[in-house]
Structure 1
């Protein structure tokens, strides 16, 4: 069986109680690694140092870890981490809650100046949202813009739609969920009751129910046993009646199942031991109590579920690191491509289904208006009878009598449900459920609203299918690169530079050599000829560049369009003697022009080219003509200008590995020769922060040493080199 990489809803329900023992701990610092791993360093009077890890990427988890197992701090804290430090430093951990039975944890921190909530979404793409005490989003790792819910800075955090909580579901609601299913018992528990696959099977096993039993074959006695098994599970979770276990799949030994030890060594729950040679081959799960579904697996007991999770994910990471080097064997691209194609087919089917459902709901709403008088007669009859306290059974009988007498309104009534306060009618051969206490317009509005909600689901599915299509194209591109590299390896004349690039990408550990040059706070790049180009990020920096850093021999670029940065092509370094005799190469001038137009409003407006002019440094002045006024960041030009018409936008972001390890960005002709790998961008629909996260994920896929990418190329750092406005990764 495959190892667990995401915590389940049952896991989170168990964690809430154990996290409660840390209430009162004070936050020292927050760290963000890449775009999906958050670490909170806390201290407790009794326990000392506490390290909380939250990961929302391919692995989704939230638990404490032993201090010696935390990753080294990133060199430069990104903006998200700095925001958390400002809000949480010295704050008290006030507790954690699970949102209903969803895979969402809400961590609460209190300080004199207010409350901060960290809401962790451990499902789908994963997300971490930081809100104030009133749930206004301060910042989030992923922005969510769906019609059904929005998670963006400045808006109120919106939880997903409520789902059935199997731990609190009343018996009558449980029976109704089961009876309305059209599949087998285990799938019903997994989906309708939201248990997920493993715990749906566990409930069936504990209840002695055949998992594959068709729901139509289940009787009252079966429902009794299932509901009792769920109640026992819920009781264990409420009372923290845990016996945590870590389970192993013994791939090569003679493991005979059951608990494999007496709690010695690392099984004592202290979480500070390493996996040793005597352990079974692979960790596959960690659970808050023994599972009958895992009875055949070797297991180790733990004193706490948090300790079990700490050890489990530590060993899982070790196992992942020991997997065969993917560069030594050809990846199964065909299987990956087939998988994405299957997912696209499923997503397209869901989209088609949402469209049909929304159309049907709108048609029902329109049919209400088409038969307004008839339906108003039905609803008014029910409302008048209820105002006289007539029972629902009597109302239903009156409609049946009316139907026998041939009354049109009565004949249209199919069913009356007093428990739900609804009436089902037949209009144009279609059944429509109406809320009896509402009028025709209100019922029609409800159906239109429901149609909109289904349309929102379709929008989410459309976004998901686009992501899957990008994954599919990426897999195809990686296959082509692999096959091209194979062909190059068979020839004697392999390009030396390409060989160096592959070496950096495949190195298991890339050494970090950091350097923060004086110009790092500006926009900057080095041309393919080695000249430095600097651009202002705002009016203050434009002003500073002209007043402080503009030297004889430099060339200044600016776009014809309003809103462009001051761009300076430096002839010399500030530490060198300036000279006006240096002749700058045409290639550097052209790259500087591309830089100027790419980081101007041209890109932000979604255009692919713009006009740029260049002047010598002595033509630029901050002294206006008589009667003129220069705004902050503005300047005056004297003399002739050299124009670069229809200059195309061109931005690439890359990771440089020598002489320093850092993110760089600028025109692709300059960046490609200086970076181990690059990604080209073009104007697009993704917000700057979202596009930066997409670039970061691709970089992580390209480097064998993912920790290196996390440390030096966070999305925040990548965003530093991206143009303002929307972007997308250019098609390969």
Structure 2
């Protein structure tokens, strides 16, 4: 069933849920794909939720975790520049339009147009700052620098839906207008339109002049005044429809949801994630072409073989006809002779057969058999080509299915505070956390490092802060593992070094502030007292560690406790290419690994994005 976007009425109901976000702040913005966007906000509401905007006709609060690209689009980068940390002042719907307006501090607005091809438009005041796509309509342009105008609408504000007020509105509509257009203008597209038509027992094409305006007004008023009772409609286990409240004409099993967002999310998710790839259609076209060509060769083989058989079974008559043709005499088999090309056309057993006048009957028959043999060989070669193409198609479809599963939303798993950073557990069971950038380096030191913890850093600029949490006794091996992490998650990896010097001190020796009279560059730390130095090798393993929350993917020194892992070193392979090799190897290792039964790894752990995210900055070499 085709994906049905939200109606104006449903947007009116969803706005009530979205308004709970007023006063909160935008944390981050992502593009899920070309038409879908995710807005993260804080403080949270109802647990961890995001605003999902799909320009194909949806906006709702999702509680699922959606796969997001590592690199945001230029449009999203512009949104982040203007809206990150902006306060949500107001969320509204202009009239009954399929439009949601988000108003922010700093005078910024984000307009989600959920009709037609959809659009997401960033405004400063009324001026367009950025748009997902340029568009031009009668009376308005969606283009940077233009003044934003709403599409033409009969309602500047949500109309009064009381009986009398509604009748007055209907009286102003041209009498020739069809009832379906009238209902749609009130935000009552299908399935609400069908509900009104069923109750009034009329057709969608009926003119409003042929209706009782009072009855029509009462039905519209009834739908518009209904309280939100989110409902899903199921045909067996398939979700076929949703609505803001129960509709009598939909004769399916019904399931209620507490929020309209949850009902829409269930419907939206059930329709699956579409992953298009031109390679599939190209390979399918090639298969069709090859099959057609094979059929042509097989028909040619059968026809040429039949002619060869006819000639051999009538060899004497054919030889006599050829002899007569060479002498210029007539024969009952001869239809015509082309002396210029040396060809004779004979009619035999219902077939017109072309012969070479210079050859004998048996030579002509052999020529047809040879041509039949070549046609069959070509058909057989096509079989091999088809087998190869179909294998390639299978591989592409398999990789796309894998990608589709990766992109499919997942229930949010429980995440520990340290999973925002790079992390691993040492051989003694101590937690090590590593910064990802200057901001997380600073956050680790400010919020998560205690005086007794050990602070590690490569002895050069451009490295991650690495903190070994001292919550239990720390052995020398754990210290060495933390040092390897500090060396590996640093500029030394990008430069392709094999070893680097690392120092470590106690947390109490680290300060973000320099003594009076001394300048401390941004992102740097001031160390007091003696430093301990180690020479550390640059190498890591990407693999599965067992944690209190189950199996988790991480990167750590090779001698850290892994269920299974793949070793990497500085090299020349891109992280994206390496991630594919690592994933395939880990899947193979996990399939062969038994420990009290099978190892249960959450499906959203072993993704290419997670593997890339775990690796250090720079290119790698995957050890076999």
What TM-score do the two structures reach when normalised by structure 1? 0.39
Larger radius of gyration: 2
Greater relative CO, 1 or 2 (CA 8 Å, sep 6+): 1
